[in-house]
Amino acid sequence: MSDYTHHGEYKVSGGKLVIADLAVESGTVAAASINGDFFLEPDEALEDINRSLLGLSVDAPHGTIAEKVRAAVGTETVMFGFDAASIATAVRRALGHATTWQDHEWEILAPQPLPITTQVALDQILTEDVAAGRRRPALRLWQWTEPAVVIGSFQSLANEVDPAGAQRHGVTVVRRISGGGAMFMEADNCVTYSMYLPLSLVDGLSFAESYPFIDAWAMDALQRTGVEAFYQPLNDIATPEGKIGGAAQKRLARGGLLHHVTMSYDIDADKMTDVLRIGQEKIRDKGIRSAKKRVDPLRRQTGMSRPEIWETMMDTFSERYGATRAVLSDDEIARAEALATTKFSTPAWTARVP
């Protein structure tokens, strides 16, 4: 079989374009051509790469493909602008297992005032719906109706929140399904969004690689507001003036991915430190002496209102990925409200890590 029937492309972040043209027979790769604008020495290594793909199952996982390529080229081959993992991604895309942003129809769910427990419940509901193919992948901006602290899935409630401070300030405490740290979220003091993605979009990417990959559009949106934002490993979003936010993820075994980001807009640092028990070890790790210095509001850096920042973000996402604006359905809200009642509002969930 000589005609290539499967085509996949992958642009390495900061690197080169890798293309996989494949022919498939009886569930295996019968012919392969890896090509692109990368650099490779010696020339003969290209044939070694192509031969390494022959006979591979069309369902071979990313790791298996990458290891085959590594074994074929050995340690003396110079691969500049690409590597075995990027070849594996191009191959997986050619075979339909890994997808690109353009392979999906995206929605944007504009901010809608809802209780904080409904907000975190929506994250679970919508991620499960994307995994099951019941809805399109989406970007959703949050707008909540009460002061809140949202703690990460694996954080200790007692270690993160001062109950007296929370009661004093009327703060609702809720636990989300994604990992990461606690978020202090009074009305209008954060810019928060969630993304509901198919796992195929990050096929072959490590957690560390997937964060900046998923949020590339958000860095573009922030640039448009005058903020020079960048990622600091693993999940901090920073500017030359300091940290402005952080991201968290939850990957479902059934194929859905929740990606969640909160950025400071105008946080009351005194109130935050009265409610959150921000450990000295965490502060020391950030190279600062005061928790208050970790707050770097977007309002000061942009001079824009929060709705103006929302609009810039939604416009950027739409322009980049062809997304259309939509609204939550009555069914989605009803299911989220029910889940908020049975799970996210309960002490059993909120204090599951006491």
How far is Cα 239 from Cα 80, in angstroms, rounded to an integer? Answer: 30
**136-140, 190-194, 207-211, 311-315: which has the minimum mean pLDDT?**
207-211
Over residues 283-336, the pLDDT tens digits come to 455 544 555 554 558 999 999 999 999 999 999 999 999 999 999 999 999 999
- Cβ atoms of 339 and 125 within 8 Å: the answer is yes
Residue 170 has pLDDT above 60, yes or no: yes
Report, as an integer, the average pLDDT of 154-180. Answer: 96
Residue 172 has pLDDT above 60, yes or no: yes
Whether the predicted model's global pTM rises above the 0.85 cut: yes
Report, as an integer, the average pLDDT of 101-123. Answer: 97
Backbone angles phi, psi at 255, to 5 degrees: 110, 10
Residue 13's pLDDT band, with cuts at 50, 70 and 90, is confident
pLDDT confidence of residue 1: 44
pLDDT confidence of residue 187: 87
pLDDT confidence of residue 297: 80
pLDDT confidence of residue 14: 85
Over residues 55-77, the pLDDT tens digits come to 999 999 999 999 999 999 999 99
